[in-house]
Amino acid sequence: GDHEIFEEDFDIISQIIVLLKPFKKAQKMLEGEKYVTSSTVMCAVRYIRIALEDSLTRDDDVNRIMAETMKSDFESRWGKSDTVAFDDGVTRAGGTRQVGIHPVLLIATFLDPRWKLLPFIDERSKVKIRAVVLELMIKLSGSKDVSAANQPTAPVDDSNEEDEVEEDEVEEDEVEE
């Protein structure tokens, strides 16, 4: 009948699955509930960009044609460069649609210890992000003096309450045995 699936159709579906697999992986990474995901947006975007570029070099026409279309749409949303540039503003296209990675997400990436070296961001942008974060820290501390932002606002308590709790738990465990 009209809805019969042939072996060639299964081949095409298999090729499409390969093309879409990086999107699934990026989605899974970004949908985490038990960890911060905003700082990984830049990495997910880069991962998808690389996967689409790799798909452009494949031998099968279906995958390559789909990858060309998807890459064009992807670049209209996320920009054409593999290197991210930090800009204080948000670029808009097609009305209110944002283009590229929002500056707040780049700041979140900088604040995440896993990405604090800001891979994939040009050097000029790294300096700008650090300056913006320092400015925000100063603003939030209520001081206009940069050196004051580097000083603790309260005495540091050297005792570690978690260690004390763990010791209590160990003692309870020993009693139960």
CB 36 within 8 A of CB 44: no
Is pLDDT above 50 for 65? yes
Q: What is the mean pLDDT of residues 21-49?
A: 91
What is the rounded distance in angstroms from the CA atom of residue 7 to the CA atom of residue 13?
Answer: 10
> Which pLDDT belongs to residue 173?
40
Task: Give the closest residue to 46 by CA, choosing from 73, 20, 88, 74.
Answer: 74
Mean pLDDT of the chain: 79
> Which pLDDT belongs to residue 66?
92
Band the pLDDT of 162: cuts 50, 70, 90.
Answer: very low
Q: What is the mean pLDDT of residues 42-49?
A: 92
Is pLDDT above 70 for 153? no
DSSP state of 154: S
Is the full-model pTM beyond 0.95?
no
What pLDDT digit, counting tens, does each position of 84-141 carry?
Answer: 778 778 888 877 888 888 899 989 999 999 887 888 888 898 999 999 999 999 999 9
> Which pLDDT belongs to residue 135?
93
CB 60 within 8 A of CB 138: no
Band the pLDDT of 44: cuts 50, 70, 90.
Answer: very high
